[in-house]
Amino acid sequence: MLDYKKKYIKYKSKYLKIKGGELSQTKKKPYRVVFANPSWAIQQGLIKGSEEDMVKKCIGNISHDSSIVYDAIRRCWLNTLEILSNLKLPFDVLGLVEVGNMGSFKKTETHLKNIIKSYENNFQIQLGSIETATRDNPNSTLTLYISIIWNNNTLGNMLHSRTVNLILPEKKNKYSTDGRPFCMVMTDKCLLLCTHLGWYSDEIGKKKYEDRVSEELSLFIKECLVKNKTLTKNLLNTKKIIFTGDFNDASTLINKNNPFKVTIKLEGFQEVLEFHNNQSKQKLKKNLATCCWHEKGHQYRIEDKKTGKQIRDTGDYILWSNNNKNSSNRLLKKSDINIPKKNLQYKLENSSDHKYIIADIYI
């Protein structure tokens, strides 16, 4: 007796191949992607910065002996570490900004290795850095770290990588405190991106960062073409690209109806990549508001007048550049994490001022 299902798939595949298409991507296994913005002040054990009130929350009501305070603050980072290293379904990609011990590459790398040591998959870590002036002292320098971690088995081995500062031209001078890291990784299977943009509130501000990303990514692609022309062109044509980051998009200007547009410009070639996460502005505000926790009475805290609950902003995103409607993007849930329930809520509330996001992407 003929297996009609196998016969159908055989001829359907043959037909679609002739037409330049492929079978429905719902049959493929999606890539699990996670993004996090762990507070830099918490990792440093410092009571300062925009997350100062979050740091004080970590300290709680304990003694204010300096050594004990430092350990209490760092406890929140250990909660972040425990959450990311105990996901029920391991990630294929993890994007991280404001990560690690600023000023020490080795200590930061140790942070990242601690995240992946509990998983059996073969991961590769790309840790990038930029230098900027500190806000306290424009004459001193600060190293900012950014990272992409990915599963070699599913997303391939690294071909090329580069990390740059997306500082805007009008802010660029030796005293600038506006460090905006952008990490780019080309593997033999995909292009992985991670960034931490500055604040903007209108289309003009968004366009400035689109132009900076376009400029730097075009230069990076040019370098990749030198290393492997055929592979690089194929990845661009198939749009196998995952873009994670803190886009600081409080006005929710990036959405499926208004994507983040990146133009790749090379000699004799131009391609516009439209990055989005399949959600409308209204749905993003409702379902993906992540930034940033503040205590009651804080100048940046906005509350719902009826409930008194904080209204957070959007901006932490996982984006892709194809039109597959089966890809999804959401907040990390308790059911995603393999930590005892009695401790889980506390750890989620005492880890970072940002919420974690997760996506299942078909590319």
Residue 174 forms part of a structural domain: yes
Residue 241 forms part of a structural domain: yes
Comparing 108-122, 235-249, 282-296, the range with the smallest average pLDDT is: 108-122
Structural domain that includes position 160? 93-291+299-329
Tokens in use for 49?
A: 């910065």
Does residue 20 carry a pLDDT above 50? Answer: no
Q: In the prediction, which pLDDT does 103 show?
A: 62
Q: CB of 301 within 8 A of CB of 295? A: yes
Q: In the prediction, which pLDDT does 66 show?
A: 58
Question: For position 221, which CATH number holds?
Answer: 3.60.10
Tokens in use for 33?
A: 């992607």
What whole-number percentage of the chain has pLDDT above 70? 87
Residue 224 forms part of a structural domain: yes
Nearest to 284 by CA among 310, 321, 309, 259: 259
Residue 107 forms part of a structural domain: yes
Mean pLDDT of the chain: 86
d(CA 62, CA 346): 16
Q: In the prediction, which pLDDT does 136 show?
A: 66
Q: In the prediction, which pLDDT does 1 show?
A: 45
Phi and psi based region of residue 261 (left: phi greater than 0; alpha: psi -120 to 50; beta: remaining): beta
Residue 50 forms part of a structural domain: no
Q: In the prediction, which pLDDT does 65 show?
A: 55
d(CA 64, CA 244): 37
Residue 340 forms part of a structural domain: no
Query: What are the φ/ψ torsions at residue 135 (nearest 5 degrees)?
Result: -70, -30
Confidence of residue 4 (pLDDT cuts 50, 70, 90): low
Confidence of residue 26 (pLDDT cuts 50, 70, 90): very low
Confidence of residue 24 (pLDDT cuts 50, 70, 90): very low
Comparing 2-6, 14-18, 222-226, 296-300, the range with the smallest average pLDDT is: 14-18
Does residue 21 carry a pLDDT above 60? Answer: no
Question: pLDDT tens digits, residue range 110-164?
Answer: 888 989 988 987 999 999 999 887 766 667 778 889 999 999 999 999 999 999 9
Q: What share of the chain is helix, strand, coil (3-state, %, to 5)?
A: 35, 25, 40
Number of folded domains that form the chain: 1
Counting beta carbons within 10 angstroms of the beta carbon of residue 213, is it exposed (0 to 12), middle (13 to 18) or buried (19 or more)? buried
Comparing 96-100, 164-168, 172-176, the range with the smallest average pLDDT is: 172-176
Question: pLDDT tens digits, residue range 308-327?
Answer: 888 899 999 999 998 778 88
Residue 232 forms part of a structural domain: yes
> Kind of pairing, strands 316-320 and 269-275?
unpaired
d(CA 120, CA 167): 38
Residue 21 forms part of a structural domain: no
Nearest to 193 by CA among 131, 157, 150: 150
